[in-house]
Structure 1
């Protein structure tokens, strides 16, 4: 038994007063003469014994009465467990990732978790609550009640390990407090937990759906985009076999096309839309699915392309380049070796040195400036054995050199599929294509990885800091590379990527650098806007272009206008990461001992209440005081 106000117990020392009064109480008896002294003596003895007993019983009742009152004022209590006596710190993590859109037995997982918190959290208790994208420190339920009711889903996700560390950082360093961390989540993903040696008690409240079936639009990409009617490819995935899922392509609210897909045992599918009009500034692909809703829409922007400037400085025939760069997308110019217009090179996106016999020394600083502006350079060496001017150029630009020519037939057998140049070019890795070959080449000495390589791993094409260098001439008597299907995506993508053309879509919450063709006046900025959000991104003026960087904003997926003084320059599309779409959950049986799993928020708080229950005993001592008072009254009245 413990006391809330133990200092009151010092008043028990006052009980010595009635005891002293009882012990030292002296009475003067008056003597009276009687005739029969023997009889009176006997009566006197009997009366003194009964009076002594009555006084002791009355004293005991009074002591019990006053002691009970004093103890009652000290407020005695008995705790259910020792932790009930400690000061409490409570931190709650509430998972509001998109996987919490799934439906459990009592509705949407996140909504149900919020409702249970509103019902179970004590109104007066202070706690800290944090979600994937927000936090409320040292607050009360009344202070954040409305924020909890309006809590939305977040694209930001981390591992459970990261959220445990983050939750632990909100506790004080006081070793005497009872620290409790609650993790309310669906426990999706791999079992990645920290090595824990801490006095923080961790409770995992797992909310999982009844039905984990889900279809997701995972990605989009264009093929045949160097032809008149490109194809928009839509990759989808499902965690079950499905048939006849409708896929619809929109431009804003206008339906452009529909198709359907089925999921076989691989649980993957692809839909294709052939675009008669490749300009879809505010595109959207949608499916109807009863699983998660966030991954049923995918936004895409296909803007009117601006002509990409490509200039070739040729010492040989350039017919193949003319065919590679159609006038619908590119502004292609060719200058022969003796007629180079150096003034035209300042704004070009991609510059091609096409087998010039010698590199003019005056060209090197122009090329250096060209590369510093983020543009691309393609170097195709000539058939000549003297490549000293090329070595001088590549050494000054990128620390790359060309070795002595090797006259030996080599097959081009290796493609670096991971390089951005070949992103979305191949449906799969090709192992048995018709290999191009060369009759002679100059070995490239560089630390960079090759894009295309020979059978002996010598590079045929290498890239470093925007400079693309071939190890041999592309003349027909040297190589048949011009007749290979590889030449089209290689040259096309080098030029297209040099213009920093905005991608089809970007990802919310990831760092994205986007170059926009715009000339800003002083103190002017561009902004991104749609019907739900408007913000000014981080940006850098690059003369004829503006480099914008997005990270935390936008918060929601959608199509955004890029505005300069209310004039739309282009549109950008943002989508949520699909990392939450798989609905794969942790094996809760493998959890370590430092994590206790609870069925629900209600279960946790009921157990917490029983652990922290304190039984107050002051009422019983007041009842005891009343009983002692009644006993004293009865003693005085009825004990003769």
Structure 2
């Protein structure tokens, strides 16, 4: 057994034991002469005994003083017996990770989980010497995570930690901590509720220089109810249309709940209420209806009341209803009267017809939908314009001419697709089927039918590869495919839409072309998760103006990163500092709002399922995580455990007790020794 000292230099003070030794060897007491009128009363034997007892007293006092000084010096040097075979490095890297994810809002027997985690972190700080520096890591990425902090700075950072919507896998935190110092011993303390969603213990790094200590915050499974998702019955939003919204609500607890009110708000106005009953560990889907009489940005929220976890009680969504959809049809010679009749009675769609020979390519970007109607060849200038058009998320519809140049079309397709025309088939054939789940067939048929009489096609181009087919011919060739690999959709018909090419234009499936046009306004995500990358296409005028992201009720206003290309600007929202809460945000340029952004917290943390301490140990054993240990208990227990693990068994208390006992013994010897010398004597005359 070896004993080490935290402050070994203090042991130089052991030289002070010379002082009582010198005092003992060189006594400076003056001898006092006592005169007796007769000496026969003194007994020689008793004189010798008293002299021996006096010397014994002086020796015992000397020993007491030496012991008192020696052990008092040892107490200040802080002796300890190492618990492990290896002595702890005094300059090791110490990282403390505090899990401040939304699940840490949960209540435990000791209080709110995130507050308990912060107190545990304080205990870890106090277990180290004042000279130790620390790295404090949370779920909010910050440059300060890479900077070593003093104990006081670490305490300040810990005190300021609040719950965060970001919840990376804990293995990523381990890699981040490990990268701080790859050459010396590195210790990471993980203070977490160890929710199974993020606690990928199997992926923890195994490194002899990297030690992981798990400090679990025991959270019991909470009867949490969450709004899981929201979706619409139809793929496009139109003014005055009855909208049917579907809401999925999950019960993550083991109790059945009844009469839970679910509220729907549209533009901050309550539009519908529904009371639900939901069984334990189950979900329920409900529908709610509303209509909107105006155009512009529509902001919605579905809400319920549930405690103690509040982050998943609200679900936001947003979309835009356009005033009109501007459609440009570029024709080879004459317009298609069938398309004109399909669209002319809808005031919501504004159709413009232009000849290929008189089109101004620079104006195409002002339209929402582009129809290439029976062009024999696609001009090279138009090819580049189509590519930019699709990059903006808009829709292109290609209807070939029977004499179209395959090479010209394939040159165009190659800019945004891996599809191509490989030939022209003059065989008369019927349509075999269609993808009934595709949104372009919404409301085309009132009910599902199995006995549909499909139209006949007299000739068609062969499109390869035969993927992304929407309408399929009997020979398994494609009649309509979406071939775009860019953000926008490019629907390609394999046959002209003329009477001599078949009867498709008189069939109900022809209405799908109308829906292709309507879908362009819904090339937008109604909601996104806070941890996702958010991309928004900015309007043309934003190329010369500053874009702002705002949330007025929270006084949030910041300038996002904007990726600029030749023809468009794309807003990229990846800032962890600017957006920390769910809600409706707005993109603004020149004091005009052009987009709504609905952001929700991830529902992954709604599942209150946690690892127990025993399960953590079992997983570590299963995956042979020999560098991972676990400590649990209250604040004082954890602090003592860490000190023992780092500095061994502390002996300074015992040294102090021995020093005090020696001082007390010295006092006894000085004050009460004379009572031991008294004994009865006989005097003879």
Q: After TM superposition, is the score higher than 0.5?
A: yes
Asked if residue 223 in structure 1 is aligned to residue 234 in structure 2, the reply is yes
Aligned-pair RMSD on alpha carbons? 4.7
Which whole-Å deviations, capped at 9, do the CAs of 1:189-239 have from their partners, x for residues lacking one? 165222423341412313324523312142333616366514141332313
Asked if residue 213 in structure 1 is aligned to residue 224 in structure 2, the reply is yes
What CA distance in whole angstroms lies between the structure 1 residues aligned with 2:442 and 2:47? 115
Secondary structure in 1 matching 2:661: helix
**Change in CA separation of 1:610 and 1:443 when aligned onto 2, cut-off 3 Å:** same
What CA distance in whole angstroms lies between the structure 1 residues aligned with 2:330 and 2:306? 55
Equivalent in the alignment of 2:464: 445
Equivalent in the alignment of 2:316: 299
Displacement of 1:109: 2.9
Secondary structure in 2 matching 1:74: helix
Asked if residue 605 in structure 1 is aligned to residue 605 in structure 2, the reply is no
Secondary structure in 2 matching 1:390: helix
What CA distance in whole angstroms lies between the structure 1 residues aligned with 2:46 and 2:441? 116
Asked if residue 579 in structure 1 is aligned to residue 604 in structure 2, the reply is yes
Asked if residue 251 in structure 1 is aligned to residue 255 in structure 2, the reply is no
Secondary structure in 2 matching 1:225: coil
Equivalent in the alignment of 1:94: 98
Asked if residue 132 in structure 1 is aligned to residue 154 in structure 2, the reply is no
Deviates more, 1:92-101 or 1:520-529: 520-529
Secondary structure in 2 matching 1:405: strand
Asked if residue 75 in structure 1 is aligned to residue 83 in structure 2, the reply is no
Displacement of 1:47: 9.7
Displacement of 1:267: 1.4
* Map 1:376-415 → 2, pairs under 5 A: 376-384=395-403, 387=406, 389-391=408-410, 393-394=412-413, 400-406=419-425, 407=427, 409=429, 411-413=431-433, 415=435
Displacement of 1:333: 1.8
Displacement of 1:107: 4.6
What CA distance in whole angstroms lies between the structure 2 residues aligned with 1:256 and 1:299? 14
CA contact under 8 A between 2:123 and 2:639: conserved in structure 1?
A: no
Deviates more, 1:480-489 or 1:500-509: 480-489
The equivalent position to 1:239 in structure 2, one of 235, 241, 251, is 251
Which whole-Å deviations, capped at 9, do the CAs of 1:222-266 have from their partners, x for residues lacking one? 616366514141332313665544332223442223334444686
CA contact under 8 A between 2:190 and 2:214: conserved in structure 1?
A: yes
The equivalent position to 1:470 in structure 2, one of 473, 493, 499, is 493
Displacement of 1:269: 0.6
**Change in CA separation of 1:353 and 1:583 when aligned onto 2, cut-off 3 Å:** same
Deviates more, 1:255-264 or 1:477-486: 477-486
Secondary structure in 1 matching 2:12: helix
Displacement of 1:443: 2.3
Equivalent in the alignment of 1:189: 197
Equivalent in the alignment of 2:30: none
What CA distance in whole angstroms lies between the structure 1 residues aligned with 2:52 and 2:412? 122
Displacement of 1:288: 2.3
Asked if residue 368 in structure 1 is aligned to residue 392 in structure 2, the reply is no
Consecutive unaligned residues of structure 2, counting only runs of 5 or more, are 28-42, 622-627, 680-685
**Change in CA separation of 1:388 and 1:566 when aligned onto 2, cut-off 3 Å:** closer
What CA distance in whole angstroms lies between the structure 1 residues aligned with 2:601 and 2:460? 46
Deviates more, 1:542-551 or 1:153-162: 542-551
Secondary structure in 1 matching 2:492: strand
* Map 1:35-54 → 2, pairs under 5 A: none
* Map 1:140-159 → 2, pairs under 5 A: 143=153, 151-159=161-169
The equivalent position to 2:329 in structure 1, one of 307, 312, 325, is 312
Deviates more, 1:79-88 or 1:619-628: 79-88
CA contact under 8 A between 2:102 and 2:165: conserved in structure 1?
A: yes
Equivalent in the alignment of 1:359: 377
**Change in CA separation of 1:328 and 1:259 when aligned onto 2, cut-off 3 Å:** farther
Consecutive unaligned residues of structure 1, counting only runs of 5 or more, are 23-42
Which whole-Å deviations, capped at 9, do the CAs of 1:4-29 have from their partners, x for residues lacking one? 4233345668999799999xxxxxxx
Asked if residue 289 in structure 1 is aligned to residue 306 in structure 2, the reply is yes
CA contact under 8 A between 1:216 and 1:296: conserved in structure 2?
A: yes
Equivalent in the alignment of 2:286: 270
What CA distance in whole angstroms lies between the structure 2 residues aligned with 1:602 and 1:223? 59
What CA distance in whole angstroms lies between the structure 2 residues aligned with 1:352 and 1:261? 47
What CA distance in whole angstroms lies between the structure 1 residues aligned with 2:665 and 2:363? 110
What CA distance in whole angstroms lies between the structure 2 residues aligned with 1:401 and 1:535? 45
The equivalent position to 1:508 in structure 2, one of 496, 512, 530, is 530
CA contact under 8 A between 1:519 and 1:546: conserved in structure 2?
A: no
* Map 1:414-563 → 2, pairs under 5 A: 415=435, 439=457, 440-446=459-465, 450=469, 458-460=477-479, 461-464=481-484, 465=486, 466=488, 467-475=490-498, 492-493=515-516, 496-497=519-520, 502-517=524-539, 519-520=541-542, 522=544, 524-532=546-554, 533-540=556-563, 546-552=569-575, 553-563=578-588
**Change in CA separation of 1:98 and 1:325 when aligned onto 2, cut-off 3 Å:** farther
Secondary structure in 2 matching 1:472: coil
CA contact under 8 A between 2:324 and 2:349: conserved in structure 1?
A: yes
What CA distance in whole angstroms lies between the structure 2 residues aligned with 1:636 and 1:226? 106
Equivalent in the alignment of 1:64: 63
* Map 1:166-177 → 2, pairs under 5 A: 166-170=176-180, 173-175=183-185
Equivalent in the alignment of 1:40: none
What CA distance in whole angstroms lies between the structure 1 residues aligned with 2:534 and 2:583? 15
CA contact under 8 A between 1:100 and 1:186: conserved in structure 2?
A: no
CA contact under 8 A between 1:261 and 1:269: conserved in structure 2?
A: no
Secondary structure in 2 matching 1:592: helix
Secondary structure in 1 matching 2:585: strand
Secondary structure in 2 matching 1:235: strand
What CA distance in whole angstroms lies between the structure 1 residues aligned with 2:300 and 2:311? 16
Q: What TM-score results when the alignment is normalised by the length of structure 2? A: 0.72
What CA distance in whole angstroms lies between the structure 1 residues aligned with 2:192 and 2:567? 50
Q: What TM-score results when the alignment is normalised by the length of structure 1? A: 0.77
What CA distance in whole angstroms lies between the structure 1 residues aligned with 2:411 and 2:506? 31
Equivalent in the alignment of 1:592: 620
Secondary structure in 1 matching 2:423: coil
